[in-house]
Amino acid sequence: MKKFFNNLRFRSKIIWLFGIMFFFTTAISGLSYYRYASNDIEENFKVGAEDVLAQIVDTLGLRLGVINQRAKGMLTNYTFVVTFSDYLNNPNDINLVKALGTIPDFMRDFETGEGLIHSTYIYTDKGSFDNYVRMRNWEFDFKESVFYKSYQESGGGAIRWFPVWKDEIFQDNDQVIPCVWQFSVQGYVGMEYLVIQLKKTELERLLEGKYEFFDKILILDETGNIMTGSPDMDQAELMKLSEAREEGSNVITSDYQYEGDSYLVTYERLKENGWQIYGLKSRQSLLGSLNILRNTIFEIMGVIFLIGVTVILLLSHQMTDSLRRLEKRMSCVEKGDLGVRFFYPYKDEVGSLAKSFNYMIGEIQSLVRKQGETIEELKRERDYVAEVQKQKRKAELNALQAQINPHFLYNTLNAITWQAADQGAEEISILSNSLGKFFRIGLSKGAEVISLGEELEHVTSYLEIQSIRYHSRFSYEIHVNDRCLDFRMIKLVLQPLAENSIYHGIKEKQGAGIIRISVSEEGAGKETVAELAVWDNGAGIPEEKLAFINETLKKGGTDCEAGYGIYNVNERIRLFYGKDYGLHYESSFGHWTKAVLRIPAMPGEVE
């Protein structure tokens, strides 16, 4: 896309840039206003939604509160209680007749004047009662109902609300909302139950007037069962939204999706029975009045865009016409015509370009004349450089011929060894012999991988030289199983560790020291690991410095101040064998230090 834009002609770029600028300026302004208007409508809805839902809660709370008070009044009425007590404690025919006359009257009075009550029913272990208004379903067994089982399975709560069900107590099969009161009568051992069933249709009628404000209203009980409203709504999602709402606000500003539309949700809770009331308003219906505004904005954007494009076309033609003529002159120069010139009467940017163009053509003509002279000079310079390179190669050959042959060094050290032995200079003989072995194994004919035996021979030569130098300051021991001597490994890794033991351990401590080199194996088969340890009883390493060294070695870093040798050894091992292998230190400050190398145990040849 960038390449395409850069390849456009200047006039096209102006049209595109100004067109995009006009479009986005208009679009951003219009959409910002649209956004402001929609936010304002939503804020007004939130305020009104809370008020309307609060009115619903107040109305339902008042109606349910009245029912609650009337139920308490009936159950505590002296005549009601005495009649009930006489019957339950002495259920003879006389008391039964009194109960069948008095209790239904109280139940009819309880239902009178409250349209929300559908029916009432009282159950006792001595019989059940109703108000004789509705036809009883005599097959209904209270002890087998969900009401009785609820009290038996869990204690607590004398008053319990249940989900909507089809009335099984009476034969009309209406949709009702049951509320069960558990109560007792003084002087009688046992529990009685009052079932108050509310009309679902009456509850829906109370909400009808609120649908002018809300699109949908949903009432759930405490466990999430739908009491009234659309049964196909995801009530679990609504309950999650109410739990996650901002504290102090009953408007849930998240987008609840239902039937392909986005809804604003308002929430309230009924204290009397824990019902959850949700009011839902579709964003599409809420913001529908803004569709005309949105279409008007699009029309204005189109008109402004067309006007802008027309103005831009006129301006771009005026601005780019002189550039187009300059481009034609440049095309002539490309074809080799250096006699063309571009004349422009004004002193704007194009005039500066015209002046630069004419000056450039003049300079090109001057340079072409000098080109012939420069070619001859370059030929002479080329011949001179070729001669210098020839002399340089001869000097390099002479320098290579002057290098010392390593075999000459070995032969010379061997001659010194034999001469010193003949003359009884044993230390000189040992030194020269050890130095010869040291250089021989160090060079190894250019090989990078040697046997463990050769590596131990190399470090032994170094320790022999140092033991003669320091006399009785230290001694050394090497412990290795013979079958490990054929292990293949990269060379020159033990000598830097032995050198560290001398210079940073034994040399820093009073008295004689000792260096022990040992080799051990871990694992089996191809996963066998060889551990090469260099131990000394020197000054040891402080705890903080030891931790720093091991951390640096683990990361594969280098710390020149702490010594380059051990980090070089560690990095060579990690590069050759992998990051699972390498070097680490163990130490007791003032007592001992141990350097441990972990490498794979590889017998035979190694690529």
- Can you say how many angstroms the Cα of residue 450 is from the centroid of all Cα atoms in its chain? 49
Residue 87 phi, psi (nearest 5): -65, -45
d(CA 431, CA 466): 9
Q: What's the pLDDT score for residue 446?
A: 55
Per-residue pLDDT tens digits for 439-460:
655 555 556 788 888 889 888 9
Nearest Cα neighbor of 120 from 196, 65, 201, 198 is 196
Paired with 479 in beta bridges are 518
Give the C-alpha distances (Å, rounded to integers) separating 394 from 382, 383, 397, 403.
Answer: 19, 17, 5, 15
Q: Is the alpha carbon torsion for 208, 210, 212, 215 positive or negative?
A: negative
Give the pair of three-digit tokens for residue 217: 């209203």
Nearest Cα neighbor of 173 from 116, 118, 111 is 118
Q: What's the pLDDT score for residue 395?
A: 44
pTM above 0.85, yes or no: no
d(CA 323, CA 305): 26
CATH numbers and ranges of domains, the chain: 77-203 (3.30.450.20), 476-600 (3.30.565.10)
3-state secondary structure at position 171: coil
d(CA 463, CA 207): 100
Give the pair of three-digit tokens for residue 123: 């159950």
d(CA 365, CA 338): 7
Q: Does the pLDDT at position 267 exceed 50?
A: yes
d(CA 433, CA 428): 8
Cα-based angle 29, 30, 35 (whole degrees, multiple of 5): 100
Per-residue pLDDT tens digits for 198-224:
999 888 888 876 666 787 888 888 888
Give the pair of three-digit tokens for residue 319: 């601005």
Q: Are 279 and 210 in contact (CB under 8 A)?
A: yes
Per-residue pLDDT tens digits for 538-562:
989 999 999 999 999 988 876 655 5
Per-residue pLDDT tens digits for 6-61:
666 666 666 677 767 766 776 777 677 667 777 777 777 777 778 888 888 888 88
Binned at pLDDT 50, 70 and 90, residue 330 comes out as confident
Binned at pLDDT 50, 70 and 90, residue 130 comes out as very high
Nearest Cα neighbor of 482 from 342, 376, 603, 351 is 603
Q: Show contacts of 18-24: CB within 8 Å, 24+ apart.
A: 18/308, 18/312, 19/305, 19/308, 19/309, 19/312, 22/304, 22/305, 22/308, 22/309, 23/301, 23/305
Give the pair of three-digit tokens for residue 456: 């131990």
Q: Please tell me which residue, 443 or 504, carries the higher pLDDT value.
A: 504
Q: Residues with Cβ < 8 Å from 537, sequence gap 6 or more?
A: 505, 506, 509, 513, 514, 591, 592
Q: Please tell me which residue, 323 or 431, carries the higher pLDDT value.
A: 323
Amino acid at 318: Q
| Mean per-residue pLDDT over the chain, rounded | 80
d(CA 410, CA 414): 6
Give the pair of three-digit tokens for residue 449: 């991988």
d(CA 547, CA 34): 64
Q: Is the alpha carbon torsion for 261, 265, 270, 276 positive or negative?
A: positive
3-state secondary structure at position 68: helix
Q: Are 520 and 532 in contact (CB under 8 A)?
A: no
Binned at pLDDT 50, 70 and 90, residue 483 comes out as confident
Look at strands 117-124 and 251-258 and give their pairing: unpaired
Q: Does the pLDDT at position 430 exceed 70?
A: no
d(CA 76, CA 183): 10
Per-residue pLDDT tens digits for 362-420:
778 778 778 878 888 888 888 887 776 666 555 443 433 333 344 445 555 555 665 56
Rg of the chain over CA atoms, in angstroms?
52
Q: Are 228 and 207 in contact (CB under 8 A)?
A: yes
d(CA 450, CA 444): 8
d(CA 431, CA 495): 16
3-state secondary structure at position 593: strand
d(CA 207, CA 219): 10
Q: What's the pLDDT score for residue 546?
A: 92
Q: Are 338 and 361 in contact (CB under 8 A)?
A: yes
d(CA 19, CA 304): 10
Give the C-alpha distances (Å, rounded to integers) separating 391 from 268, 378, 380, 383, 388.
Answer: 99, 20, 17, 13, 5
d(CA 403, CA 311): 82
Region 591-602: what's the mean pLDDT? 92
